[in-house]
Structure 1
């Protein structure tokens, strides 16, 4: 399909935009994932179980992330995307800081709800910005680089969190002006919130690109958005639920991997932060960018379903590496964990890129929000709790967390393989549906 690449921003400007969005995504994932390294001190201070802790990790965040996401996606399709992202960063940063003031379990739940609602503003607007900054044959790579924020952010949460925990524990409780006595884990949330508020000013450097592609500048009623999604429902369902299964496996495992190393291999939180955090940053970033580059390579060779194919390949490759949770030798665990994180990361850039290729411009933010709704509610909302419930109610043994992770991650990834395989043909047909929609609007591809 020919495209006029001169209509897009310069390569330097486009990648500058990606770099700022990447920093925002890193910040969001640090705020989101730092909780995973703080399980034991928070459980102790709030006197809660693994299952209650998992609700802080997942469901409390995910419900309002998903509820807020769809209306915010519609805002991203018509209003200032930079302004929407700035408002979101401010809200989630203030609520992250508020987590550091939580004295009771329900206080923490409310704060995590606020973090989720704020973070919902970021990705639909970011995907839309990048789709208008890069021609189609470069989008998967660009969105994959942005999506590195998942693994850079999670890795930094573990790495920096581990260092801060080690330092803070050595210092003990801290007395702050006005606030008073705070625990080391509370101090971490307060610091992260402050960094986020300061970052809001960096977003002014983004210059919004003009809206491009089929449907650009077209005012689309909500009813028509629904009708269009119904017309490609097989592709949407297989895509969204298929990648949601991978998200389920990823969030379910990563929420408890630090605890797995602490309980099953005797590591300290600081050691987990250093070693596992480094693997997440390096292997995750390499995996997600490799997935995007591979998808763009396949697209140039004529595969119109390249993004879906890469997701399917990643799911197949991940399954054998799940054996890492059952291995006893720690050196072998680190070796296998690198490849496990690499393959788990591969799909999470191509998945949102795939959405951009089957939706008119004026519907991209909303479709991206629905995708995020699905993967977050299923993945983050249920994944960590599924693992915790296996540990608490099936095995009734804290040390069995390794088996819980293995069972949940492997079974749900097999489901993803089936769904993504079934979605290949419907996805190709959805590309054709978009072309026909454009012709009816007087905007042929």
Structure 2
């Protein structure tokens, strides 16, 4: 009975953290559906808009991830997550009160500040809650929040934008009338404050005894460990950074691609992409975690990396071809694209946990997120915009820019992950031996 209750509490935590991750991606991705209205109102180019999608969000999201993870390795992770949700929800609502490019840029920076608190602390909590042979499943379910959030951002964004456009915006006391896109930001930001209260119902998991025995690790110690095994970490970070760049390059512009290249109505584009993202993205990321668990049970120490590579191999050709085919075939292509783009990301986060000492997990996870998100989120959408504006020099060649970035990102990711595979299993084995070794008694002199 006690074991069943403990298991239920674990999965309650997974469920609530997944909801939090879903909310974070709704608030992060909602911008992608409103390219046309925001560009028209603010008078900006594709490249400037891409900075709102990427760099504005990523600059402090990545920079603050490491110090916040330092706190997560020492303090109460549940409270840290609750505060982060409140901050990014308020910042999203503030996006709806902005009227210029600089102020919207700053509000997007605030969204990134709040979201920086979530994943390092959540990864650390889940690792302390579950036995190793079930971690892949837990990480996969948590990571499905990415695609549920993206899907809901497209669906909710399309419906809310249409709703407010029919009413000419939103009239508020003192503030006056908000544009439809501003009203969308306000509507999706404020509910997050209720979620932050729900997170306080979670129980902070006990840290493993080895974590307590090892003591608190400084960031300098985490960097030293990284440097000692730099080849594995660098190739891991590079491979998933390129995969994240590919993913963000495609998804940041997918709604606008359907609208601009195939003349699909905005609401129809949002609904179609949203359903595909929820079903195929969500199932893909869970499938990646299940494959990782299966390979772990078969005795593969590098199971997370092998699972990630399986997704990367299929993703490369699909990402390069999807923007180039006709409508509605392109919608069918988005199904395997999102399935295999999502497939590696649960195992990617799990891989970091397996090669990190217990008292450095959150900090090394944050370092991973720093590199991956600064590259992928910060420059994925911008890479497409730069190709559109400066290489192809036409808004109507957006699909060529997406295909180019997809092919380059997929190729570089595959090469880096293959190189990482060489030393990954050895480092996992080394960390397992270190975890099994008894530590000297502190009172022994």
Alignment TM-score, normalising by the size of structure 1: 0.95
Name the structure 2 match of 1:299: 296
* 3-state SS of paired residue (1:181): strand
- 1:268 is displaced (CA, Å) by 1.5
- Among candidates 413, 430, 433, match of residue 430 of structure 2: 433
- Among candidates 48, 54, 79, match of residue 58 of structure 1: 54
CA distance in 1, matches of 2:236, 2:335: 26
Name the structure 2 match of 1:75: 71
Name the structure 2 match of 1:327: 325
Name the structure 2 match of 1:3: none
Is 1:229 the counterpart of 2:226? The answer is: yes
Could you tell me which runs of 5 or more consecutive residues in structure 1 were left unpaired when the two chains were aligned. 1-5
Within 5 Å, give how 1:208-247 maps onto structure 2.
Answer: 208-212=204-208, 214-217=210-213, 218-247=215-244
Is 1:120 the counterpart of 2:116? The answer is: yes
Name the structure 2 match of 1:272: 269
Greater displacement, 230-239 / 76-85:
230-239
* 3-state SS of paired residue (2:177): strand
Name the structure 1 match of 2:314: 317
* 3-state SS of paired residue (1:369): helix
Name the structure 1 match of 2:167: 171
CA distance in 2, matches of 1:167, 1:112: 24
Greater displacement, 393-402 / 166-175:
166-175
Is 1:48 the counterpart of 2:44? The answer is: yes
Q: 1:150-192 deviations in whole A, cap 9, x for unaligned?
A: 0000100001111111111111122112221100110111112
Is 1:21 the counterpart of 2:17? The answer is: yes
- 1:224 is displaced (CA, Å) by 2.1
Name the structure 1 match of 2:443: none
CA contact (8 A) 2:219 2:363 kept: no
CA contact (8 A) 1:214 1:360 kept: no
CA contact (8 A) 2:73 2:216 kept: no
CA contact (8 A) 1:172 1:184 kept: yes
Is 1:394 the counterpart of 2:394? The answer is: no
CA distance change for structure 1 residues 64 and 9 in 2, over 3 Å: closer, same or farther? farther
CA contact (8 A) 1:162 1:274 kept: yes
- Among candidates 191, 201, 204, match of residue 205 of structure 1: 201
CA distance change for structure 1 residues 9 and 211 in 2, over 3 Å: closer, same or farther? farther
- 1:33 is displaced (CA, Å) by 0.0
CA distance in 2, matches of 1:206, 1:304: 31
CA contact (8 A) 1:291 1:310 kept: yes
CA distance in 1, matches of 2:153, 2:93: 15
Greater displacement, 434-443 / 144-153:
434-443
CA distance change for structure 1 residues 332 and 213 in 2, over 3 Å: closer, same or farther? farther
CA distance in 1, matches of 2:363, 2:388: 37
Greater displacement, 162-171 / 365-374:
162-171
Is 1:282 the counterpart of 2:287? The answer is: no
* 3-state SS of paired residue (1:333): helix
Within 5 Å, give how 1:346-365 maps onto structure 2.
Answer: 346-365=343-362
Name the structure 1 match of 2:187: 191
CA distance in 2, matches of 1:215, 1:9: 25
Q: 1:359-391 deviations in whole A, cap 9, x for unaligned?
A: 111101101101110110000111100100100
CA distance in 1, matches of 2:325, 2:99: 39
Greater displacement, 84-93 / 163-172:
163-172
CA distance in 2, matches of 1:238, 1:9: 40
Q: 1:298-357 deviations in whole A, cap 9, x for unaligned?
A: 0100111111111111111012212121111x2322211111110111011111111111
Is 1:91 the counterpart of 2:93? The answer is: no
CA contact (8 A) 2:352 2:364 kept: yes
CA contact (8 A) 1:315 1:416 kept: yes
CA distance in 2, matches of 1:336, 1:88: 36
* 3-state SS of paired residue (1:38): helix
